Amino acid sequence: MHTHRYAVSVVAALVSAFAFFTQGAVAQTTVTSDPPATFTLGNGLKVVVIPDHRTPVVTQMIWYKVGSADETPGKSGLAHFLEHLMFKGTSKHPAGEFSQTVLRVGGNENAFTSTDYTGYFQRVPRDQLGRMMEFEADRMTGLILKDENVLPERDVVLEEYNMRVANNPEARLIEQVMAALYLNHPYGRPVIGWHQEIEKLNREDALAFYRRFYAPNNATLVIAGDVDAKDIRPMAERTFGEVAAQPDIPAQRLRPQEPPPIAPRTVTFADARVEQPKLMRYYLVPSATTAAAGESPALDVLAQLMGGGSNSYLYRALVVDQPLAVSASAGYQGTSLDATQFMISASPKPGVEFPQIEQVIDRVISDVAQNTVPAEDLERVKTQLIASAIYAQDNQATLARWYGAALTTGLSIEDIRSWPDRIRAVTAEQVRAAAQKWLDKKRSVTGYLIKDSAPKREEKRS
């Protein structure tokens, strides 16, 4: 049985998995380096080739432009459920053959689901790439699902839900905060789904979703590693090029959008297992795709300035200057097709109440929103952001992930490559304006994680 456990299935996991997008975000920073080669096959499949000749290894990633925000209402968790089922085999390659082949050649593989995309990848010796392309192209449309595979896999997903969400108080709080933040947009649904809806997902649901969204014209193939772009095109034509396009897929994904936020909300989640209380505040803000020019990099810089490391304003104010908290951080999730989140979190010290923490957070925000950020602070955080993006380029899979995530959420290769230049160009005035406009409490949900001291009735898990 395939035991892939990289599936990004709760928002908490999503945020941590892409924390580097906030830290060093979507960027190929050595702008002097050659851009990746790109081409589109006749059936609409976009291909991106990122040469990296340091080791004789190659990473193949296929990104489908479909995630949990594209599910039919009432069938939450379907995108992630199908991700699991994609390992159940085809008529050409029975269940297990693909995974066993990857292991046998000394490679590794995995899959992940997010709000906006679903991805599958293998990292193998370069001479195995052709086989990997053949396997992946085959399961793009050749998946065979039988009830005897589907129903046990649904139980695996329910077990994953119990492990990742039901037994994780922080994940439960994030689930509730997201549901409160998005009044109308499907980002308010958990990627893994709501338990009572996962329980009802079946073979027909999975197949209908698969036939609707899995097609070359709804996918991006990213090949990173010891390859030459000129060799990839004929290989891609021979494998993926044979798969027919799906003409019903719309050119753009249009989801219900959020109304302007008018009321700050709070959510309290109490659980007996909580050892460390936590405050989380999420603001609804534009993503790199939806923001006006300059706004998204300003939010990147603002997040780093306020909560990126021990020199940040929130950390200094809450942990160093007057020790009210054991930790404090901020982040911005820029890689998103629609409106996204700016996140602040802090864990109070014993005996410190949430209002004391919030007072300091509000003061730091109001200070940044009203005053010009000192030039040396601005330079420091820009340098940190750009440096972390440069270091991250040493990882072939990370590079492939940057490109895949960005391209499936509406950005271009040029957007990715020019990110460091846009960070460098952010002015103190843009940072101040971003704080004033977007960190408005009306746009926020504040979540409180507290220890529940009352005796707890067990939640019924049917």
Instruction: Give the DSSP per-residue string, 352-413.
Output: --HHHHHHHHHHHHHHHHHSPPPHHHHHHHHHHHHHHHHHHTT-HHHHHHHHHHHHTTT--H
- Angle, helix 354-370 to helix 295-307, in steps of 10 degrees: 130
Residues across the chain: 462
Partner residues linked to 342 by β-bridges: 283, 332
Question: Any idea what DSSP says for residue 431?
Answer: H
**pLDDT tens-digit series, residues 373-397:** 999 999 999 999 999 888 877 788 8
CATH of domain 265-451: 3.30.830.10
125 contacts 410 by C-beta, under 8 angstroms: no
Confidence (pLDDT) at 366: 98
3 has a pLDDT exceeding 70:
no
pLDDT at 144: 97
Q: Look at residue 292 in the predicted model and tell me its pLDDT.
A: 96
What confidence tier does 125 reach under pLDDT thresholds 50, 70, 90?
A: very high
What is the pLDDT averaged over residues 14-40? 52
202 C-beta neighbours (distance < 10 Å), count: 14
Same fold, 37-242 and 265-451: yes
Residues 243, 247, 249, 250: is their CA dihedral positive or negative? positive
Query: Is the distance from CB of 389 to CB of 402 less than 8 angstroms?
Result: no
Angle of the 129-141 helix axis to the 229-238 helix axis, nearest 10? 40
Residues 415-438 have pLDDT tens digits of 998 999 999 999 999 999 999 999
Determine contact, residues 80/50, Cβ cutoff 8 Å.
no
Contact 343, 332 (CB under 8 A): yes
Q: Tens digit of pLDDT for each residue in 225-256? A: 999 999 999 999 999 999 999 999 998 999 99
Q: Can you state the angle between helices 428-438 and 375-392, rounded to 10 degrees? A: 90
Q: What are phi and psi of 379, to 5 degrees?
A: -60, -40
Q: H/E element holding 149?
A: helix 147-161
Q: What is the mean pLDDT of the chain?
A: 91
- Cβ-proximal residues to 87 (8 Å cutoff; 6+ apart), any chain: 2, 4, 95, 98, 99, 111
pLDDT digits (tens, 9 = 90+) for 180-235: 999 999 999 999 999 999 999 999 999 999 999 999 999 999 999 999 999 999 99
The CB density around residue 245, as the number of other CB atoms within 10 Å, is: 15
Architecture of the domain defined by 37-242:
2-Layer Sandwich (3.30)
Residues tagged active-site? 83
Tokens at residue 374, please? 């000192």
21 CA to centre of own chain: 9
Q: Which residue has the higher pLDDT, 459 or 137?
A: 137
Residue 21 pLDDT > 80, yes or no? no
Q: How far apart are CA 53 and CA 159, in angstroms?
A: 41
pLDDT at 1 over 60: no
Which amino acid type is present at position 149? N
Tell me the pTM.
Answer: 0.91
Which two three-digit tokens encode residue 158? 């329910």
pLDDT at residue 14, as a whole number:
31
List the structure tokens of 19. Answer: 């924390």
CA 407 – CA 9 distance, rounded (Å): 21
Strands of the sheet with 325-332, listed across from one edge: 265-271, 444-451, 278-285, 340-348, 325-332
CB-based burial of residue 177 (10 Å sphere; 0-12 exposed, 13-18 middle, 19+ buried)?
buried
For the chain, the domains span: 37-242, 265-451
Sheet bearing 118-125, strands edge to edge: 37-40, 46-51, 219-225, 57-64, 118-125, 108-113
Q: Report the pLDDT value the prediction gives residue 191, as an integer from 0 to 100.
A: 98
- Expressed in angstroms, the distance from the first to the final Cα of the chain is 25
